[in-house]
Structure 1
Amino acid sequence: MESAVILAAVAGAAAVLLALRLWIVLHSRGVVPRKSLSLMVVAGSGGHTTEILRLLEYLSNAYSPRHYIIADTDEMSAQKISSFELNRADRELHTRFPKYYIHRIPRSREVQQPWLSTVLSTLYSMWLSFPLTYQVKPDLVRMPITPADHS
């Protein structure tokens, strides 16, 4: 009986905190028109980087700066992103210096990595990605859609 009361109290406290957070977000200062929105892009690897860059081709320069997150061992994605941004700058005559950043974090799972160690490497990647997200404070986060997401 006591455990049910404790569980109900914890659930009630969580509901109150969630409601308070929602109220704070919805009643924060008024909407201020801005010239640009910060965009965080999780690039993935291989075909995922190509897929996400195809989507970004159609975004205006209002999505600036662009922060790309890639694995620390993924040189191919870094090259694709740099090439994409330079080509974009060439097309946009008023953009001499494109505002983009490439951030590297450890890959959460390598190919052929044992599943048991995947838990630790994923936790390590998350440990480093949360402060990065807090530092960048993006207005919009975009991740590629994987085949598993289509089902």
Structure 2
Amino acid sequence: MLLFGVVFSLFLTALLFLLRVYFVLNSGSNHPPKTRSHVAVLVVAGSGGHTTEIMRLMESLSAAYTPRHYVIADTDKMSEEKIVAFESSKPQSHADVQFTINRIPRSREVAQSWSSSVVSTLNALRYSLPLVFRLQPD
């Protein structure tokens, strides 16, 4: 019975992936590229060294990548400090600083059991999906 569940899950995942690829490839001609001067960016910053890594990547982006929306875990204080320090160090006028920091529940805490992480991940999803639709990143 377990084998059937695994096979069915893999089949369903592959089917959904193929459907997604099909719709993405066939929808490209219906939407001409946008000619905007700004690109809204959504950055999901992890804890620990992951925030430092993403900040290094963000340094290479031009000023056209605004507004910048950062998403961090609600228990992550260090990432917020790093993001604020990074944004404060950018050579821009105060009017050009366009960034927000958004908090969502953490999907899985350190040492949390895998079985209980399903519930906490669904809770994080409940907060993150509306956030993506509200921010509408490019």
Unaligned runs of 5+ in 1: 1-13, 140-151
- Shift in CA distance, 76/21, structure 1 to aligned 2, threshold 3 Å: closer
Q: Post-superposition shift, 1:116? A: 1.2
Task: Describe the SS at the equivalent of 2:132.
Answer: helix
TM-score (norm 2): 0.79
TM-score (norm 1): 0.72
Task: Describe the SS at the equivalent of 2:103.
Answer: strand
Instruction: Show the 5 A alignment for 1:15-94.
Output: 19=22, 22-23=25-26, 25-88=27-90, 91-92=91-92, 94=93
Aligned residue pairs, count: 124
Describe the superposition over 1:56-82 as per-residue Cα deviations: whole angstroms up to 9, x where unpaired. Answer: 111101000000000001011001101
Q: Residue 97 of structure 2 aligns to which amino acid in structure 1?
A: P
- Shift in CA distance, 59/112, structure 1 to aligned 2, threshold 3 Å: same
Give aligned-pair identity as a percent: 47
Q: Residue 46 of structure 1 aligns to which amino acid in structure 2?
A: G
User: For the residues of structure 1 that align with 2:124 and 2:23, how far apart are their CA atoms?
Assistant: 30
Describe the superposition over 1:100-149 as per-residue Cα deviations: whole angstroms up to 9, x where unpaired. Answer: 0001000001112122111110111112111111111111xxxxxxxxxx
Kindly indicate which of the two structures has a greater share of residues assigned to helix.
Answer: 2
Q: How big is the alpha-carbon RMSD for the aligned residues of Structure 1 and Structure 2?
A: 2.4
Task: Describe the SS at the equivalent of 1:31.
Answer: coil
**Higher RCO (CA 8 Å, separation ≥ 6 residues):** 1
